[in-house]
Structure 1
Amino acid sequence: MDFKTYIRDIPDFPKDGVVFKDITTLLKDAKALKMTSEALCQMVGDQKVDKVVSMESRGFFFAPILGVHFNAGFVPVRKKGRLPAKTVGQTYNLEYGTDTLEIHADAISPGERVLIHDDVLATGGTALAVCQMIESMGAQVVQCNFLLELGFLEGRKKLEGFKVKSLISY
């Protein structure tokens, strides 16, 4: 299946000069949704996965599906202040400034094998922050999975040392 045919380009969103990759056109098509879910699972192979961790918000579409497939739990990572219980945080650099992501402190146990999933690998900063957070909790990142990769932004370089796979590359 040519997954790219289900991705819509939105020029100048969220700001001028950016071409946004809209995945809602893929999500609304039952066949494409099923095939995408299966392909994302196949990218992981037969690795043991205890938890699937994903960043808000578009990563949340496929992460629970991956969790069900691997008989693993789903753990959301959110922006600072959006999780109700005790959290562990990781601050990372943005183009202009910093941001902080958080995960519930009791969501990951030492020794667990974690699959990280997000919708897009762009500059790699968010994914690296999550990898660092998971490792700081004593768990192992088995793979970083992405629906889309914007290769021209070279985010994969930031994730050197981690196994990285993307279903669709631009």
Structure 2
Amino acid sequence: MDLKALIRDIPDFPKPGILFRDITTLLSDPAGLKYSIDTLAAKVVDLQPQYIVGMESRGFIFGAALAYKLGIGFIPVRKPGKLPADVHCVEYALEYGTDKLEIHKDAVAPDGRILIVDDLIATGGTAAATAKLLQEIGANLVGCAFVIELDALNGRSLLPDVPIISLVHY
């Protein structure tokens, strides 16, 4: 299936000069969504994850669906103040400024096998920050999976040395 045909390009969003890859058109296509989840599942099953970690917010969409497909748990990584129990927090650099992500301290047992899932990897900052959070809670990162990878931004260079799977490359 040609997933690129289901991903809409929106020029100058969220600011001039940015070409935004909009997945809402992929999500609304039943065959495209099913193909995305089924293909990701086939590509990551051999990594034997016990949990999927998805980052707020589009990582929740693909991560939860993939966890369901694989019959494993889903762990959310959220913006500050959204998780009710004790959390680990990491601050990371954005293009202009910084942001923070949090995970529950007890989200996974030590050495739990984790797969990070998000809709897109661009500069890699969010995924790298999530990998750092997982390290802080003693989890075992077994890989990362993305629907879209923006190759020119080389975000994978910030990630640990684990398998990185992307369905669509731009």
Q: Which TM-score applies when normalising by structure 2? A: 0.96
CA distance in 2, matches of 1:102, 1:7: 29
Q: How far did 1:23 drift? A: 0.6
Match of 1:69 in 2: 69
Q: Show CA shifts across 1:96-116 (max 9, x none).
A: 222110011111210100010
Q: How far did 1:60 drift? A: 1.0
CA distance in 2, matches of 1:111, 1:128: 18
* Residue ranges of structure 1 left out of the alignment (5+ in a row): none
Contact 1:108 1:134 in 2 (8 A): no
CA distance in 1, matches of 2:165, 2:37: 14
* Residue ranges of structure 2 left out of the alignment (5+ in a row): none
Match of 1:83 in 2: 83
Q: Which TM-score applies when normalising by structure 1? A: 0.96
Secondary structure of 1:80's aligned partner:
coil
> Are 2:58 and 1:58 aligned?
yes
Contact 2:83 2:103 in 1 (8 A): yes
Q: Show CA shifts across 1:88-138 (max 9, x none).
A: 111111122221100111112101000100011000111011111111211
Q: How far did 1:160 drift? A: 4.5
Supply the RMSD in Å over aligned alpha carbons: 1.1
Partner AA of 1:49 in structure 2: P
Match of 1:116 in 2: 116
Match of 2:135 in 1: 135
More displaced, 89-98 or 54-63?
89-98
The equivalences for 1:1-170 within 5 A come to: 1-170=1-170
More displaced, 156-165 or 10-19?
156-165
